[in-house]
A and B are shown apart, each in its own frame.
Chain A
Amino acid sequence: GIQVEQSPPDLILQEGANSTLRCNFSDSVNNLQWFHQNPWGQLINLFYIPSGTKQNGRLSATTVATERYSLLYISSSQTTDSGVYFCAVPDTGNQFYFGTGTSLTVIP
């Protein structure tokens, strides 16, 4: 299967700071998704971004498919941004491979 690596594994930020999360994947893909897992366990969709750059408020993401990586940018972080961020890529169909996640803690 596809290997997905995320870095850093843990991140602690002061409220208002910016951060960059990275996702590397081992094979060419036609889809990549970023998720935020809330404290109750649900995976919330952030971006569906097989290539290029997208922005949604304080969050943006860039995927460089030819170099097999994606970046998630969080600007002006807030305490509500805390949680675990996952990237996921599919193999065949909707068989997604997930990274081990980045655990983000934003302190006031």
Chain B
Amino acid sequence: KAGVTQTPRYLIKTRGQQVTLSCSPISGHRSVSWYQQTPGQGLQFLFEYFSETQRNKGNFPGRFSGRQFSNSRSEMNVSTLELGDSALYLCASSLGSPGEAFFGQGTRLTVV
């Protein structure tokens, strides 16, 4: 079966712009979680959505937001981009919450 799909794979944005990342989970999975990976901070949890409801939120500013649609696909939005937002953004899909997590290939965002 198809894995977790993240689009786009690469993005270059300018400071102050906003960006939307997309994640399509494994078919049947209802939980989608988002993570940010940077060399300095490692892998950090952003938020989790389960059946269209945000279940948990990490310690990130309000510029980071997300949503989940009825087909379980999720989007993450970052507004007013800063240089420090440059990172690899990973999304994970799970059947339940809690459950085994399966990750997508990630979106590499560069803010210039």
Residue from A42, A92, A93, A95 in contact with B103 in the complex, judged by beta carbons closer than 8 Å: A42
A108 interfacial contact with B, CB 8 Å: no
Residue numbers in B under 8 Å from A97 (CB-CB):
45
Q: Could you tell me if B33 and A95 are in contact, using CB atoms closer than 8 angstroms? A: yes
Q: Inside 8 A of B103's CB, which chain A residues have their CB?
A: 35, 42-45
CB-based contact A96/B33 at 8 Å: yes
Q: How far is the CB of A51 from chain B (nearest CB, A)?
A: 14
How many residues belonging to A are interface residues under a CB distance threshold of 8 Å? 24
Interface size on B, residues (CB 8 A): 27
CB-based contact A95/B106 at 8 Å:
no
Tell yes or no: B63 within 8 A of A by CB: no
CB neighbours (8 Å) of B31 from chain A are 93-94
Q: Is the interface of B mostly helix, strand, loop or mixed?
A: strand
- 0/1 per residue, A52-71, Cβ < 8 Å to B? 00000000000000000000
Nearest CB of chain A from residue B3's CB, rounded to whole Å: 9
Contact, CB under 8 Å: A33 / B100: yes
Cβ of A33: which chain B residues have Cβ within 8 Å of it? Answer: 100-101
Contact A100 B58 (CB under 8 A): no
- Chain A's nearest CB lies how many Å from the CB of B1? 14
Q: Which residues of A contact B50 (CB under 8 A)?
A: 93-94
B-side interface residues toward A, CB under 8 Å? 31, 33, 35, 37, 42-43, 45, 48, 50, 55-56, 58, 88, 90, 92, 94, 97-106, 108
Q: A40-B106, A92-B56 are in contact. List 19 more A-B contacts (CB 8 A).
A: A33-B100, A35-B103, A41-B37, A41-B105, A41-B106, A42-B104, A45-B100, A45-B102, A48-B100, A88-B43, A93-B56, A93-B98, A94-B33, A94-B48, A94-B101, A95-B33, A96-B35, A96-B43, A101-B42
